[in-house]
Structure 1
């Protein structure tokens, strides 16, 4: 009987993938690239996905329902299972997958931490600075409008996610603010 336990899904695994998918769909909005000038590269796409996932995980961790933390972990697990899969699809060799995924995890973790303090403090300027460093790799002039707009979107998304309840998340649904919804 113990052998069958190896093939059972973990709690919230499917829901984690559904929530992660919602974050990815939101991060792929064409306006990020066309209007905000986010680099349409692997790094640029990773940064947008990371921002959306970090906002979702932040919301789930703040929920008083104990399932919030489990869902947050499921979203995180889904993200890095997807990163592993995508690296393999791109032809990265098996021997370097673990190292690359670890590097991506460290990048995501660092960014999530860099965004958390400004979000918690309501400091749009500090968040815009962190986004300019990470998303545009410091290539924009100081005070550029694009990071300010992306910071406004992050705050809008954070507020929108806060309005959504655990039943919605448990159903695998999450709504994110679209780039045209953000106000500076």
Structure 2
């Protein structure tokens, strides 16, 4: 039984790697950092990976068991990547678990707040959630600053709609492609 788990993980490795690469490539689109008020920092990039992961998982939750397992493997790859990045930043072995727990809580919190806003078709609420997470220094200023996140909220709404049209077969093959940030206004 345990050996089948390792065999499945190995078989999924290429698909997981391909899909995770597509997620991180989408998060690195320069348009987010130049035109959508996302800071080009370690945390800004973490936020963009979280956004794309949330959008991806929203789509995969409606797919079959094979895609569900693939999405779990992608979550595992995401947290392995975070662990590696934390260590590269110089955090020692004793500090890594605490930071991982904090980052995991941040990720799942974002999944809930973004998902709730997307489910309710609440563009303004999504922009407010994005502002709280991406620009916490501006969040206290209120609605005026939340408007600066509307282009990113619009991108998320468009990407969520586009991902809703992706077939289960495309998901299972790890071939999901995200819209470009530069096309967000198209």
TM-score normalised by L of structure 1: 0.89
Question: Where does structure 2 lack aligned partners over 5 or more consecutive residues?
Answer: none
Alignment partner, residue 38 of structure 1: 38
Alignment partner, residue 81 of structure 1: 80
Aligned residues between the structures = 182
Say which is worse superposed, 5-14 or 152-161, in terms of deviation. Answer: 5-14
Matches within 5 A, 1:85-96: 85-96=84-95
Q: 1:116 to 1:3 in 2, by over 3 A?
A: closer
Alignment partner, residue 59 of structure 2: 59
CA contact (8 A) 1:60 1:72 kept: yes
* Alpha-carbon distance in 2 for matches of 1:109, 1:43: 15
Q: What's the offset of the Cα at 1:68?
A: 2.5
**Is residue 20 of structure 1 aligned with residue 50 of structure 2?**
no
Question: Where does structure 1 lack aligned partners over 5 or more consecutive residues?
Answer: none
Say which is worse superposed, 158-167 or 3-12, in terms of deviation. Answer: 3-12
Name segments (4+ residues, structure 1) moved above 6 Å: 2-6
CA contact (8 A) 2:37 2:149 kept: no
Alignment partner, residue 173 of structure 1: 175
CA contact (8 A) 1:128 1:148 kept: yes
* Alpha-carbon distance in 2 for matches of 1:6, 1:120: 34
Instruction: Say which SS state the counterpart of residue 177 (structure 1) adopts.
Output: coil
Superposition RMSD in Å:
2.2
Deviation per CA, 1:92-127, whole angstroms, max 9, x where unpaired? 211111111111100000111011111111111111
Matches within 5 A, 1:21-170: 21-63=21-63, 65-139=64-138, 141=141, 142-144=143-145, 145-170=147-172
CA contact (8 A) 1:27 1:45 kept: yes
Q: What's the offset of the Cα at 1:37?
A: 2.2
TM-score normalised by L of structure 2: 0.88
